[in-house]
Amino acid sequence: MKRVFKSIIVFIIIVLLSLCGVNIISGNGGEERNSKINNILILVNRKNGLDKSYIPMDLTIPEIPFSDEATNEEKQVAGIIKEPLEELINEAKKEGIILIGNSAYRSYESQEIIYNNRVRDEGKKSADAYVAKPGFSEHQTGLCIDITNKYRYFAEGTEEAEWLEKNCSRFGFIIRYPKNKKRITGIEYEPWHIRYVGKDVAKYIYDNGITLEEYLEK
Ligand SMILES: [Zn+2]
Protein backbone atom coordinates (compact mmCIF):
# COMPACT_ATOMS: atom_id res chain seq x y z
CA MET A 1 0.00 0.00 0.00
CA LYS A 2 2.84 2.30 0.96
CA ARG A 3 4.44 1.58 -2.43
CA VAL A 4 1.25 2.50 -4.29
CA PHE A 5 1.09 5.75 -2.31
CA LYS A 6 4.72 6.47 -3.20
CA SER A 7 3.99 5.88 -6.91
CA ILE A 8 1.02 8.24 -6.75
CA ILE A 9 3.21 10.93 -5.16
CA VAL A 10 5.89 10.42 -7.85
CA PHE A 11 3.20 10.59 -10.54
CA ILE A 12 1.81 13.83 -9.11
CA ILE A 13 5.32 15.33 -8.96
CA ILE A 14 5.93 14.38 -12.60
CA VAL A 15 2.61 15.92 -13.64
CA LEU A 16 3.40 19.10 -11.69
CA LEU A 17 6.88 19.32 -13.22
CA SER A 18 5.57 18.88 -16.72
CA LEU A 19 2.97 21.57 -16.08
CA CYS A 20 5.81 23.86 -14.94
CA GLY A 21 7.66 22.83 -18.07
CA VAL A 22 4.75 24.01 -20.18
CA ASN A 23 4.79 27.31 -18.35
CA ILE A 24 8.53 27.68 -18.85
CA ILE A 25 8.15 27.00 -22.56
CA SER A 26 5.38 29.56 -22.99
CA GLY A 27 7.51 31.99 -20.96
CA ASN A 28 10.32 31.55 -23.46
CA GLY A 29 7.83 32.09 -26.23
CA GLY A 30 7.11 35.50 -24.77
CA GLU A 31 10.78 36.35 -24.70
CA GLU A 32 11.12 35.21 -28.26
CA ARG A 33 8.34 37.57 -29.31
CA ASN A 34 10.14 40.42 -27.55
CA SER A 35 13.45 39.63 -29.18
CA LYS A 36 11.65 39.61 -32.51
CA ILE A 37 10.43 43.12 -31.83
CA ASN A 38 14.03 44.05 -31.07
CA ASN A 39 15.34 42.31 -34.19
CA ILE A 40 17.39 44.92 -36.04
CA LEU A 41 17.47 42.82 -39.20
CA ILE A 42 13.70 42.52 -39.57
CA LEU A 43 12.73 42.65 -43.25
CA VAL A 44 9.76 44.74 -44.30
CA ASN A 45 8.96 45.11 -47.98
CA ARG A 46 6.05 44.52 -50.33
CA LYS A 47 6.09 40.80 -49.56
CA ASN A 48 6.91 40.92 -45.84
CA GLY A 49 4.49 42.84 -43.68
CA LEU A 50 4.16 43.63 -40.01
CA ASP A 51 1.25 42.89 -37.74
CA LYS A 52 -1.07 45.73 -36.81
CA SER A 53 0.08 45.30 -33.21
CA TYR A 54 3.80 45.63 -34.03
CA ILE A 55 5.25 48.52 -32.05
CA PRO A 56 9.03 49.04 -31.81
CA MET A 57 10.71 48.69 -28.42
CA ASP A 58 11.47 51.85 -26.41
CA LEU A 59 10.14 54.43 -28.86
CA THR A 60 11.95 57.66 -28.10
CA ILE A 61 12.65 61.05 -29.68
CA PRO A 62 16.37 61.46 -30.52
CA GLU A 63 18.17 64.73 -29.87
CA ILE A 64 18.58 65.85 -33.46
CA PRO A 65 17.10 68.73 -35.46
CA PHE A 66 13.76 67.95 -37.11
CA SER A 67 11.94 69.65 -39.95
CA ASP A 68 8.92 71.75 -38.97
CA GLU A 69 6.58 69.35 -40.76
CA ALA A 70 7.56 66.33 -38.63
CA THR A 71 4.80 65.20 -36.26
CA ASN A 72 5.61 64.02 -32.74
CA GLU A 73 4.91 60.45 -33.77
CA GLU A 74 7.31 60.72 -36.71
CA LYS A 75 10.09 62.09 -34.52
CA GLN A 76 10.24 58.82 -32.61
CA VAL A 77 12.68 56.00 -33.28
CA ALA A 78 13.22 52.56 -31.75
CA GLY A 79 15.38 53.07 -28.63
CA ILE A 80 18.21 51.01 -30.10
CA ILE A 81 18.92 53.55 -32.87
CA LYS A 82 18.74 56.73 -30.78
CA GLU A 83 22.47 56.95 -30.03
CA PRO A 84 23.79 55.79 -33.41
CA LEU A 85 21.51 58.32 -35.12
CA GLU A 86 22.62 61.17 -32.84
CA GLU A 87 26.26 60.22 -33.48
CA LEU A 88 25.69 60.26 -37.24
CA ILE A 89 24.00 63.68 -37.22
CA ASN A 90 26.66 65.13 -34.89
CA GLU A 91 29.57 63.77 -36.92
CA ALA A 92 28.05 65.15 -40.13
CA LYS A 93 27.76 68.55 -38.47
CA LYS A 94 31.43 68.42 -37.43
CA GLU A 95 32.26 67.82 -41.07
CA GLY A 96 30.12 70.78 -42.13
CA ILE A 97 27.06 68.83 -43.29
CA ILE A 98 23.71 69.73 -41.74
CA LEU A 99 21.28 66.80 -41.74
CA ILE A 100 17.69 67.18 -40.52
CA GLY A 101 15.27 64.46 -39.45
CA ASN A 102 12.08 64.40 -41.48
CA SER A 103 10.11 61.26 -40.71
CA ALA A 104 11.04 58.19 -38.65
CA TYR A 105 8.42 56.02 -36.93
CA ARG A 106 4.97 55.72 -38.46
CA SER A 107 2.36 53.58 -36.77
CA TYR A 108 0.17 51.10 -38.61
CA GLU A 109 -2.75 53.46 -38.08
CA SER A 110 -0.92 56.47 -39.54
CA GLN A 111 0.08 54.48 -42.60
CA GLU A 112 -3.53 53.36 -42.96
CA ILE A 113 -4.67 56.99 -43.00
CA ILE A 114 -1.97 57.99 -45.55
CA TYR A 115 -2.87 55.05 -47.78
CA ASN A 116 -6.63 55.57 -47.55
CA ASN A 117 -6.32 59.31 -48.26
CA ARG A 118 -4.31 58.57 -51.38
CA VAL A 119 -6.88 56.02 -52.54
CA ARG A 120 -9.65 58.56 -51.93
CA ASP A 121 -7.82 61.39 -53.74
CA GLU A 122 -6.07 59.63 -56.60
CA GLY A 123 -7.43 56.11 -56.83
CA LYS A 124 -6.13 52.71 -55.78
CA LYS A 125 -3.68 52.39 -58.67
CA SER A 126 -1.80 55.54 -57.69
CA ALA A 127 -1.91 54.61 -54.00
CA ASP A 128 -0.47 51.15 -54.67
CA ALA A 129 2.30 52.61 -56.83
CA TYR A 130 3.48 55.28 -54.41
CA VAL A 131 2.32 54.50 -50.87
CA ALA A 132 3.06 51.39 -48.84
CA LYS A 133 -0.01 49.54 -47.63
CA PRO A 134 -0.46 49.61 -43.85
CA GLY A 135 1.83 46.96 -42.33
CA PHE A 136 4.20 47.09 -45.30
CA SER A 137 6.05 50.32 -44.54
CA GLU A 138 9.51 49.99 -43.04
CA HIS A 139 8.75 53.12 -41.04
CA GLN A 140 6.60 50.97 -38.72
CA THR A 141 9.80 49.28 -37.46
CA GLY A 142 11.15 52.53 -35.96
CA LEU A 143 14.53 51.47 -37.37
CA CYS A 144 14.63 53.93 -40.27
CA ILE A 145 14.38 57.65 -40.83
CA ASP A 146 14.00 59.97 -43.79
CA ILE A 147 16.65 62.68 -43.73
CA THR A 148 16.41 66.07 -45.35
CA ASN A 149 18.55 69.21 -45.65
CA LYS A 150 17.87 72.88 -45.00
CA TYR A 151 16.51 73.32 -48.52
CA ARG A 152 14.15 70.35 -48.06
CA TYR A 153 15.72 69.05 -51.24
CA PHE A 154 17.53 65.82 -50.49
CA ALA A 155 18.39 64.49 -53.92
CA GLU A 156 21.23 62.70 -55.64
CA GLY A 157 24.18 65.05 -56.15
CA THR A 158 23.54 67.27 -53.12
CA GLU A 159 26.47 67.32 -50.69
CA GLU A 160 24.21 66.04 -47.91
CA ALA A 161 23.06 63.01 -49.91
CA GLU A 162 26.63 62.26 -50.94
CA TRP A 163 27.89 62.49 -47.38
CA LEU A 164 25.09 60.24 -46.11
CA GLU A 165 25.72 57.62 -48.78
CA LYS A 166 29.45 57.48 -48.05
CA ASN A 167 29.31 57.66 -44.26
CA CYS A 168 26.09 56.24 -42.83
CA SER A 169 27.46 52.68 -42.60
CA ARG A 170 30.07 53.90 -40.07
CA PHE A 171 27.16 54.40 -37.69
CA GLY A 172 25.29 51.20 -38.56
CA PHE A 173 22.93 52.57 -41.22
CA ILE A 174 22.40 51.69 -44.87
CA ILE A 175 20.77 53.48 -47.79
CA ARG A 176 17.83 51.10 -47.80
CA TYR A 177 16.65 51.77 -51.37
CA PRO A 178 19.79 52.22 -53.48
CA LYS A 179 19.94 53.24 -57.11
CA ASN A 180 19.23 50.54 -59.70
CA LYS A 181 17.91 48.06 -57.13
CA LYS A 182 14.19 48.54 -57.59
CA ARG A 183 13.78 45.04 -58.99
CA ILE A 184 14.99 43.75 -55.60
CA THR A 185 13.65 46.29 -53.09
CA GLY A 186 10.47 47.14 -55.01
CA ILE A 187 11.15 50.84 -54.36
CA GLU A 188 12.80 53.58 -56.45
CA TYR A 189 16.11 55.12 -55.34
CA GLU A 190 15.61 57.03 -52.08
CA PRO A 191 18.87 58.70 -51.01
CA TRP A 192 17.13 60.11 -47.92
CA HIS A 193 15.83 56.88 -46.35
CA ILE A 194 18.38 55.26 -44.02
CA ARG A 195 17.82 52.06 -42.07
CA TYR A 196 19.68 50.81 -39.02
CA VAL A 197 21.13 47.28 -39.26
CA GLY A 198 24.16 47.55 -36.93
CA LYS A 199 27.75 48.41 -37.86
CA ASP A 200 28.96 44.99 -39.07
CA VAL A 201 26.03 44.35 -41.38
CA ALA A 202 25.99 47.96 -42.61
CA LYS A 203 29.69 47.72 -43.52
CA TYR A 204 29.15 44.42 -45.33
CA ILE A 205 26.18 45.78 -47.29
CA TYR A 206 28.05 49.00 -48.17
CA ASP A 207 31.31 47.28 -49.15
CA ASN A 208 29.49 44.79 -51.38
CA GLY A 209 26.99 47.22 -52.89
CA ILE A 210 24.02 45.03 -52.01
CA THR A 211 20.59 45.50 -50.45
CA LEU A 212 19.16 44.19 -47.18
CA GLU A 213 17.14 41.65 -49.19
CA GLU A 214 20.32 40.29 -50.80
CA TYR A 215 22.17 40.23 -47.47
CA LEU A 216 19.40 38.22 -45.79
CA GLU A 217 19.28 35.76 -48.68
CA LYS A 218 22.98 34.96 -48.66
ZN1 LIG B 1 11.31 56.54 -45.77
Distance between CA atoms of 79 and 58, rounded to whole angstroms? 5
Q: What is the DSSP letter of 138?
A: G
Compute the 3-state secondary structure of the chain and give helix, strand, coil in percent, each to the nearest 5: 50, 10, 40
Q: Which are the catalytic amino acids?
A: 190
Count the helices and strands in the chain (H runs, E runs). Answer: 8, 4
For residues 146-151, give the mean pLDDT: 97
Residue 15 CA to ligand 1 centre (angstroms)? 53
Q: Is the pLDDT of residue 21 over 70?
A: no
pLDDT band at 166 (very low <50, low <70, confident <90, very high): very high
pLDDT value for 23: 38
Residue 177 CA to ligand 1 centre (angstroms)? 9
Residue 99 CA to ligand 1 centre (angstroms)? 15
- Percent of the chain residues past pLDDT 90, beyond the cut: 78
